[in-house]
Structure 1
Amino acid sequence: MDKWWKKLLQPLSSKEGRKLHKPKYLIALGIIGVLIILTSNWFQSSDQPSPGDLEQSTAQQAGTGQAAAEGAEMTDSITQLETEYEKQLLPLLENIQGVSNVDIMINLSSTHKKVYDKNLIIGKQTTKENDKNGGEREIEDYSREQQLVLVRQGDREVPLLTQTSKPEVSGVFVTAEGVDQMKVKAWVVEAVSKVLDVPTHRISVLPKK
């Protein structure tokens, strides 16, 4: 290939010593131009993503955006519930004898838990098989499936809600004046535990400086 290329670029010489440059140089330039065009097209086609890649990228971006929006909405709901609980509990603690200047922080692990009614569907399938000895046996397969119970609400159907449970409290922190006395501190811990239905080991009560 190298010999052919050098031969192609080498100028022709006639017997009289005149060099015939143009014919072979024109052919060489033409071949070089074609190679440049082909190489350019190949790089452009390899750099451009296929329609399938574009669709997959768009779907991934949409899924990520939806998950982020749902996560932000859940965080806002939990923060709002924590603030409501703190406002409700604050005046109750300040009414305890010997307690004043109360600050409280409540951490919730989730929002309200909703339980929907479901139908349990049990299926049974019997299959008969013959073995090599001419015997016959039956194989029974059972399947269990749960389906939400839907009720009509206006022009649409919605799941039937049977129970709504309070959010689970993961921790409570209280600072107040007067809780340096063990008896008063015990009252505060007991009040928080009963109101929020949280075990005492998740409650921290400290006196203010």
Structure 2
Amino acid sequence: MKQTETLKALWSRWKYAALIAAAGAALLLLPAGGGRTDAAPAAEMEERVQDTVREMETRMEAILKTIDGAGELHLMLAADTGTARQLAQDTELSYSGAVSAPDDYLRREETVLTGSGSGEGPVVTQTRCPTWRGALVVCQGGGDAQVRFAVTAAVSALTGLGADRITVAKCQ
């Protein structure tokens, strides 16, 4: 009987603390990050790089097919990096200590957004095109030196690759 009274007295005294501790433990068991893993952004970035490469290949194939003597043509581009965007940043510096010799400083950066509500988006200050590792062109006219030269020059002009990184071969 005395133990029951003691437990009741302890419960009435510490019930709020026990409830807060139980709620905290329950929150710790919930998954963090909204179910999004670190692999998802990397996978999305790789997918965007592949989309950029495919789009560029398709557009270049259509143009290269029009070169006199090239005939049926297939193009493969190897990318080192995809497109990249540089976003506008709002930077704030705050110093502590004397003005002439500050003890410490704090730097805070935020991405600048434009629009409002669901139409909000970052302000892009610079967009970089992909960098290419190499190109392979297989075409019917690949056996002719003039066609190889014209195709190599066109691919070089469009990608920035040197002639040593472009291979033009004849298809069967």
Q: What TM-score comes out, normalization by structure 1 length? A: 0.55
* Distance change (3 Å), C-alpha of 1:189 and 1:141: farther
Q: Using CA pairs below 8 Å that are at least 6 residues apart, which structure has the higher relative contact order?
A: 2
- C-alpha distance in 1 between matches for 2:43 and 2:109: 30
- Amino acid across the alignment from 1:71: A
SS at match of 1:95: coil
Seq. identity, %: 24
> Unpaired runs of 5+ in structure 2?
1-24
Q: What corresponds to 1:203 in structure 2?
A: 166
**Rounded Cα–Cα distance in structure 1 between residues aligned with 2:48 and 2:92:** 35
Q: Where does 1:4-153 land on structure 2 (aligned, <5 Å)?
A: 55=29, 62=35, 66-127=37-98, 139-141=101-103, 143=105, 144-151=107-114, 153=115
**Residues paired across the two proteins, number:** 144
C-alpha separation in 1, matches of 2:112 and 2:59: 35
* Contact 1:122-1:142 at 8 Å conserved across structures: no
Give the direction of change, closer, same or farther, for the CA distance of 1:59–1:202 in structure 2 (3 Å limit): farther
After TM superposition, list the pairs within 5 Å mapping 1:137-176 onto structure 2: 139-141=101-103, 143=105, 144-151=107-114, 153-155=115-117, 157-176=120-139
Partner SS for 1:188: helix
Q: CA deviation at 1:180?
A: 2.6
Mapped to 1, the partners of 2:103 and 2:149 lie a distance apart of 58
Which amino acid in the other structure matches residue 175 of structure 1?
V
Whether contact under 8 Å (2:152, 2:163) holds in the other structure is: yes
Structure-1 separation of matches of 2:166 and 2:159: 10
Check 1:163–1:205 CA distance in 2 against 1; reply closer, same or farther (3 A cut).
same
Q: Which runs of 5+ in 1 are unaligned?
A: 1-50, 129-137
Q: TM-score by structure 2 length? A: 0.64
Task: Say which SS state the counterpart of residue 67 (structure 2) adopts.
Answer: coil
User: Aligned-pair RMSD on alpha carbons?
Assistant: 3.2
Secondary structure of residue in 2 paired with 1:73: helix
Distance 1:121 1:142, change over 3 A: farther
C-alpha contact (below 8 Å) 2:52/2:83 kept by paired residues: no
**Cα deviation code 1:23-62 (max 9, x no counterpart):** xxxxxxxxxxxxxxxxxxxxxxxxxxxx79x849x559x5
**3-state SS, counterpart of residue 100 of structure 1:** coil
